[in-house]
Amino acid sequence: MTEDNQYTPPPGVLVPDSAVPAAPVPPPPAGFPVGSFSPTLPANGFATAAMALTGVYTLLSIASALTVQSTVERTKEALENQTSTGALDTLLSAVIGLVGIAAFIFLALWMARIRSNRTALGDTPGGPPSVEWWGWFIPVANFVLPLLGMRAISRKVAGWGLLLGWWLPFCLVWLIGPITASATFRAVDFGTGELTNPDALDSMIPLTYASTAALVVAWVFLVLIIRKTTAGHIEAAKAATN
């Protein structure tokens, strides 16, 4: 039998000395051209949201700092007259709190996405697993764990200078916060409910200024970290598809 008339067995039937056909390779998902399928998921959206929300939180904190002196005076009047503070102060505090929660969620989502994408590319970040979600809430350890998580996902693209430029000012904000919040308790005699130490409330003003300045510095460095880490991740994903 000539080569042109070579016998071809029916589908699924193997003849002696024939090679076992290779397993079929599944096509890439719809929308990905052949040869350019990436195992990673987009991170730009989470990165943009994290930068924007942390920026809004910082701007609201600046607005609060600019009005802290009048806020202290209103607090003194409220304590002296046994009344509540203005609705505007309460509203601003509530908005700052809600934006802060949203900023945390999207920052954690971005960190988790970078972590999972690096793992999919075969470059497991290491560090405490999923620390971006729980590391912020462990007393004392939360002064280290989030930094280790950020270091794990940004290794090779963001150095310690950027990381500490973000983390040290942010820790300062954390340290100042409870001291500022305790001013009201130190200013009032809870036995009588009277304002007995107005100077304690006055101390809120420089503490708020210091905290806000540190927050601005921390935000600037955080944006640099997010941008550099996301850009490095995109480059790694592109290299993996070539």
Domain boundaries defined on the chain: 44-115+130-236
Residue with token string 């540190």: 214
State yes or no: pLDDT of 7 exceeds 60. Answer: no
% of the chain residues with pLDDT over 70 = 80
125-150 per-residue burial string, b: 16 or more CB within 10 A, e: under 16: bebeeebbeebbeeeeebeebbbebb
CA gap 49, 105 in Å, rounded: 10
Q: Cβ(195)–Cβ(187) under 8 Å?
A: yes
| Residue 12 confidence class, pLDDT cut points 50, 70, 90 | low
Considering Cα of 99, then 100, then 101, then 106, what sign does the dihedral take?
A: positive
Kindly state the average pLDDT of the residues 101-127.
Answer: 91
At 95-108, the pLDDT tens digits run: 999 999 999 999 99
User: pTM, whole model, 2 decimals?
Assistant: 0.77
At 32 the pLDDT is 38
Q: Cβ(170)–Cβ(215) under 8 Å?
A: yes
CA gap 234, 242 in Å, rounded: 13
